[in-house]
Chains A and B, each alone.
Chain A
Amino acid sequence: MSAARTSLLAAALAPAAGLARAADGTSPHAAGNSAIAIGMFLAFVAASLVITWRSSHRTKSAADFYAAGGGIKPLQNGFAIAGDFLSAAAFLGITALVYSTGFDGMLYSIGFLVGWPIVLFLISERLRNLGLYTFSDVTSFRLDRTQVRVFSAIGSLTVVAFYLIAQMVGAGKVVQLLFGVDYTVAVLVVGVLTVLYVTVGGMQATTWVQITKAGLLLTGGTLLGFSVLWKFGFSVDALLAAAVQVHPKGAAILQPGGLFSDPVSAISLGLALMFGTAGLPHILMRFYTVRDAQGARKSVFYAGCFVAYFCLLIPLIGFGAIALLMNDPSYFTGATASKVTGLIGGPNMAAIHLAGAMGGPLFFGFIAAVAFATILAVVAGLTLAAASAVSHDLYAQVIARGRTSERTELAVSKFAAVAIGIVSALLAMLFENQNIAFMVGLALAVAASCNFPVLVTSLYWRGMTTRGALAGGGLGLASSVVLVGLSKTVWVAVFHFKAAIFPYENPAIVSMPLAFLGIWLFSVLDSSPRAAAERNAFDAQLVRAETGLGRPAAAVAAH
């Protein structure tokens, strides 16, 4: 039971986990069709470079670079946020989960979606009104500028780093599988392209690459979903009947399986999924690209609609893959291969094989190119978020203490983006054959137990002080990292110890309350004059957070 859960989590959260096993055999379907796939991918790259080049003329100020000058429309931003969120893990990984386990895969997609209302209700408006470019702007609004900013930047960078490495390794594996190119080459291509988008075109280019990719992904998903429905005469019942008939687990795929089988693990994973979204720096950053708080609200709503729509497509694609692929031996590694893990390229290839089955080489190539575009866009968003944490938070506000020029800050951010690109590509090569399944889980756990508690209490609790933020956030960060280290995904899978010391895979049920407790306790005990001043400053923060009054105009009217 527990082993099943491990691989579920791994497959859902990191495409690399499932693909690592699969990369030794390139699919004959993939090899035969890779020319079309590469052609389509090159078309996407060409389009993205045109976008980047055009954006470069409009990326002059810091506001342009970090926030596209606040000139993105809510609908466009909704597309871009959905794009940031619908990574290859969501598309290939969750489809693979539905393919392998049926109903449990659907639960995962729900888990991915329930974070949106929380982001909308609690975070988006106030974040937009208080900050300029990063979420550290908000946490350090009335608290100690230097300490809290450094701490928030560390929280951001930790989350982004683990996410980024997982995406890069996943990218290498997917590309290797889809296009038959070498892993190193694939990683380098991803690294060079994303650094180019970010340094040349900043947020403007990153946003439009994200929008383009989201459009392609939604189109591809729609085509796949509808072709499955069409095949079964638009009867979901006929589709489910066909899937139940061929799946080794039979009718059990329509019912809850191993996921959420014991209450503690279920709640812990649920907490990380629900509140982790509200602590992802690359998502939070997107709320600054629109004109005002109303734009931020609308963009979350649109993004939620797109993601929900995609979550409705995923079961169609997953059950469709079961019904249409499992009976055809040509999609499997051998006649006796398992109907689940024996799929050529592993279960993560389910959506892509299904495209080949439904629409031949052309559709296969299109979906493969979409998968690669997805990775590129997500990596670009993450790189920009990391570069901003370095240049805006660490360099401009802390090292230069706000006395730097915009030009220097921009130069630092571009330099940081290049450095981050190089480091993440190197790490991706280092981790090529490592089990990195824990990384995305860890990123979400840190987001839910460090970034989210600090952000939400600084927004809503007058009594919060710097000491509370550092102690509580620090507790959340340390406990989530340590507990993941002691859990099965690292202690057993990476360090090869016999049994895990921490029995649950996700630490959120311990680390999140610990963070809130720490924030409360150390704030309440803080009777320093600084703490008093920080509590006093809450009124000014509240007025600006609720009304938007007093937000510097420079960040709004760049165009």
Chain B
Amino acid sequence: MESLTETTARLVVRNPRFIALVRRRARVRWGLTALTILAFFGFVLMIVFARPLLATKVGGGLAPLGIYLATGMLLFVVLVTGVYVQRAASLFGRMNDELVEEIGL
């Protein structure tokens, strides 16, 4: 396959299917990025400013809230990456296939 000419690119860029794909993906991509940044730096700032809270015992065991939250962060990372990969494979994959079919490249 030859590399895309600028003319073809300009056509694809105006294609409604392409615009929809880029928009949908951007929303998921930047939304999840913001969520990850908020979660991590929120946790970091909690460590700076809310130490006593993190030291509170929860659930009757020895482990304080901080340890649960730290473990929760690990699971959160797996969860958000999983959500993105799933969305990308199902929705974006389908939108991409339809686009490629329509423009016939």
Q: Are B99 and A547 touching (Cβ within 8 A)?
A: yes
Residues on B with C-beta less than 8 A from A107 are 47, 70
Does A330 lie at the interface of the complex (its beta carbon under 8 Å from any beta carbon of B)? no
**A254-B67, A263-B45, A270-B40 known; A120-B85 Cβ under 8 A:** yes
Scoring A residues 271 to 297 as 1 if CB is less than 8 Å from chain B, else 0, what string do you get? 000100000000000000000001001
In the bound complex, CA of A236 to CA of B60 (Å): 13
Total inter-chain residue pairs, C-beta < 8 Å? 164
Does B80 lie at the interface of the complex (its beta carbon under 8 Å from any beta carbon of A)? yes
Does B16 lie at the interface of the complex (its beta carbon under 8 Å from any beta carbon of A)? no
Q: Are B84 and A120 touching (Cβ within 8 A)?
A: yes
In the bound complex, CA of A553 to CA of B71 (Å): 43
- Picked from A260, A300, A304, A540, the residue with its CB within 8 Å of the CB of B47 is A260
In the bound complex, CA of A263 to CA of B43 (Å): 12
- Picked from A120, A301, A543, the residue with its CB within 8 Å of the CB of B9 is A543
Q: Are B12 and A543 touching (Cβ within 8 A)?
A: yes
Q: Which residue of A lies closest to B7 (CB)?
A: A540
**A107-B47, A546-B22 known; A254-B1 Cβ under 8 A:** no
**A301-B81, A547-B99 known; A539-B13 Cβ under 8 A:** yes
Does A47 lie at the interface of the complex (its beta carbon under 8 Å from any beta carbon of B)? no
In the bound complex, CA of A394 to CA of B18 (Å): 35
Residues on A with C-beta less than 8 A from B71 are 312
Q: Which residue of A lies closest to B82 (CB)?
A: A301
**A308-B75, A549-B4 known; A114-B40 Cβ under 8 A:** yes
Q: Are B66 and A117 touching (Cβ within 8 A)?
A: no
In the bound complex, CA of A311 to CA of B67 (Å): 13
Within 244-280 of A, Cβ neighbours of B (below 8 Å) are at 244, 254-256, 259-263, 266-267, 270, 274
Q: Are B77 and A117 touching (Cβ within 8 A)?
A: yes
Residues on B with C-beta less than 8 A from A267 are 41, 44-45
- Picked from A118, A262, A536, A543, the residue with its CB within 8 Å of the CB of B36 is A118
Q: Are A550 and B54 touching (Cβ within 8 A)?
A: no
Residues on B with C-beta less than 8 A from A244 are 62
Does B94 lie at the interface of the complex (its beta carbon under 8 Å from any beta carbon of A)? no
Q: Are A122 and B29 touching (Cβ within 8 A)?
A: yes
Most central of A254, A274, A300 by chain B CB within 10 Å: A254
Q: Are B77 and A114 touching (Cβ within 8 A)?
A: yes
Q: Are A255 and B51 touching (Cβ within 8 A)?
A: yes
Does A177 lie at the interface of the complex (its beta carbon under 8 Å from any beta carbon of B)? no
**A117-B81, A122-B33, A267-B44 known; A255-B62 Cβ under 8 A:** no
In the bound complex, CA of A120 to CA of B28 (Å): 12
In the bound complex, CA of A546 to CA of B2 (Å): 17
Residues on B with C-beta less than 8 A from A297 are 84-85, 88-89
Q: Are B93 and A266 touching (Cβ within 8 A)?
A: no
Q: How far is the CB of A466 from chain B (nearest CB, A)?
A: 18
Within 13-43 of B, Cβ neighbours of A (below 8 Å) are at 13, 18, 21-22, 25, 29-30, 32-33, 36-37, 40-41, 43
Does A29 lie at the interface of the complex (its beta carbon under 8 Å from any beta carbon of B)? no
**A262-B48, A267-B44 known; A113-B12 Cβ under 8 A:** no
In the bound complex, CA of A148 to CA of B15 (Å): 31
Q: Are B84 and A537 touching (Cβ within 8 A)?
A: no
In the bound complex, CA of A237 to CA of B60 (Å): 10
Q: How far is the CB of A235 from chain B (nearest CB, A)?
A: 9
In the bound complex, CA of A10 to CA of B50 (Å): 26
In the bound complex, CA of A298 to CA of B18 (Å): 23
- Picked from B4, B44, B67, B78, the residue with its CB within 8 Å of the CB of A266 is B44
Q: Are B63 and A236 touching (Cβ within 8 A)?
A: yes
Q: Are A550 and B81 touching (Cβ within 8 A)?
A: no
- Picked from B6, B54, B73, B85, the residue with its CB within 8 Å of the CB of A539 is B6
Q: Which residue of B lies closest to A237 (CB)?
A: B61
- Picked from B44, B62, B84, B99, the residue with its CB within 8 Å of the CB of A254 is B62
Q: Are A540 and B18 touching (Cβ within 8 A)?
A: no
Residues on A with C-beta less than 8 A from B8 are 543
Residues on A with C-beta less than 8 A from B45 are 263, 266-267
**A254-B64, A543-B13, A547-B96 known; A125-B88 Cβ under 8 A:** yes
Other than A263-B45, A547-B96, give 6 A-B pairs with Cβ distance below 8 A. A121-B29, A297-B84, A300-B85, A312-B74, A542-B9, A552-B1
